[in-house]
Amino acid sequence: MSKAYDRTLDALLAEADTKGMCLAPRDRHLKRLLRARVSSGSVKEPAKGLFVSAARWESADMTKRAQAWRIIRGLQHLHPAWVFCSFSAALIHGLELSNRLLKPVHVISHRSRITNDIVHHAVDSFEIRTVMGLRATDMTRTLFDCLKSCTFPQGLAIADSALRTTRTSREGYLCAIERRYHDQKGVQKALRTMSHANGLSENGGESYARGVMIELGFKTPDLQVRLADPLNPSIEYRIDYGWDVGDHLILGELDGKGKYADKGGAPLDLSTVMAEREREARITTYRPVIFRFAFPLVYRPDEFAALLDARGVPRLNS
């Protein structure tokens, strides 16, 4: 390969990266040259016909979500008429998605099939929304497709984020899904998930954990429980989960490095950690039962249930 071609490919890859997308060339010669680089390991082809620098694709700041965005933008460039649906549409709408749902790509088609790791869905009753130049199914269709297809905890994260990021209420989405899809398979599953949605959940991890609690048979917690600082009532603390059991409160917090690290993952200074400990010390004035848990515990439901039982979290049948 000549140096001129090398420079051209480098420039094209860099230009695509600045646009937040994979390089999606239509020229067959360019594709051959790029696939030669794929063979050498310097370029990745994450989806057929889409290319990205291997170093960029594997960089520390390239999250699974960012990779999915780049693939979808590249595919839209190659196929301007495509309409993305299901979990791909949820990503475009900015909803919370488990990394496990970011692949494969989902698109509307005249018949259902799977080709080149792309799932084509033959569906009706949808409207097209254009979000940042990407064509996707409308929010109601997107929610129905997602909630009927994924697990309850995964779906709850999606439904919570829809309430958090749009002006439509839970009742509004329930009515819209029931009205448009009442005779379609999976509607009851979608409605059940949406009926538990709560826009107060701050992130997908909190939503997923609450979904597991509900599946395990525990009472649905109050979210973002507010407690005044007993030494300074003008300050209010918020706790992820809370259950009022009559004579005392049970408070739960999803712990993680986010509590003790900045957005780049660097440890926070000692003063921040001490402030968090002081916050918890003041909350104990209310004499609650307080427990923390790390997210990986949620994937071990027996252990998670044992923790909740040990802390006295009430079950639905209690």
Which pLDDT does position 255 carry in this prediction?
86
| pLDDT tens-digit readout, 9-49 | 999 999 999 999 999 999 999 999 999 999 999 999 999 99
Local confidence band at 264 (pLDDT 50, 70, 90 cut-offs): very low
Local confidence band at 159 (pLDDT 50, 70, 90 cut-offs): very high
Q: Mean pLDDT, the chain, as a whole number?
A: 91
What is the C-alpha to C-alpha distance for residues 164 and 182, in angstroms, rounded to an integer?
25
- Mean pLDDT computed over 201-220: 97
For residue 1, pLDDT over 60 is answered with no
Which pLDDT does position 238 carry in this prediction?
87
Q: What is the DSSP secondary-structure string of 209-255?
A: HHHHHHHTTBPPPEEEEEEEETTEEEEEEEEEEEEE-SSSEEEEEEE
For residue 143, pLDDT over 50 is answered with yes
Local confidence band at 125 (pLDDT 50, 70, 90 cut-offs): confident
H helices within the chain, ranges in order? 3-18, 28-40, 54-57, 64-78, 86-92, 139-147, 152-165, 170-181, 187-195, 204-215, 257-260, 270-283, 301-310
Scored b (16 or more CB within 10 A) or e, 120-151 reads bbebeebeebeeeebbbbbbbbbbbbbbbbbb
Which pLDDT does position 16 carry in this prediction?
98
Kindly report the pTM of this predicted structure: 0.89
